[in-house]
């Protein structure tokens, strides 16, 4: 047996000096963090290319354009989301 005193117990976890700038855990009153929401996973940001997950996009468009999109969707028997997705896919560089 040694007569040396034991060091004080510590958890090994320390608060970073800038923890108030970017805390690692949610603050009280904040909305639920994305990693706790159902349907959200790390795979959403690091998944294989070519596997797209549908996400919600909110945009404001002129009323006449919304009407034209709805008419096109009805004519083709597809959803408004499908019409907009198809239009954007053809506009975006790959």
- Count of domains in the chain? 1
Predicted model pTM: 0.45
**Within a domain: 12:** no
What is the per-residue pLDDT across 1-14, written as a single tens digit (0 to 9) for each? 567 877 777 666 77
Secondary structure of residue 18 in the 3-state scheme: coil
What is the per-residue pLDDT across 65-74, written as a single tens digit (0 to 9) for each? 999 999 999 9
pLDDT at 49: 60
Enter the tokens of residue 48.
């294989």
pLDDT at 52: 75
Which range marks the domain in which residue 68 is found?
Answer: 34-91
Q: How far apart are CA 7 and CA 42, in angstroms?
A: 39
**Within a domain: 11:** no
**Within a domain: 78:** yes
φ/ψ region of 82 (left if φ > 0, alpha if ψ in -120 to 50, else beta) reads alpha
**Within a domain: 1:** no
Show the low-confidence residues of the chain (pLDDT under 50): none
Enter the tokens of residue 77.
């028997």
């Amino acid at each position: 047996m040694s007569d040396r005193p034991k060091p004080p117990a510590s958890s090994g976890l320390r608060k970073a000096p800038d923890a108030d700038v970017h805390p690692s855990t949610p603050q009280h009153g904040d909305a639920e963090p994305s990693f706790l929401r159902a349907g959200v996973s790390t795979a959403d940001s690091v998944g294989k290319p070519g596997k797209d997950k549908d996400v919600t996009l909110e945009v404001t468009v002129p009323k006449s354009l919304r009407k034209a999109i709805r008419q096109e969707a009805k004519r083709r028997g597809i959803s408004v989301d499908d019409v907009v997705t198809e239009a954007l896919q053809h506009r975006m560089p790959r």
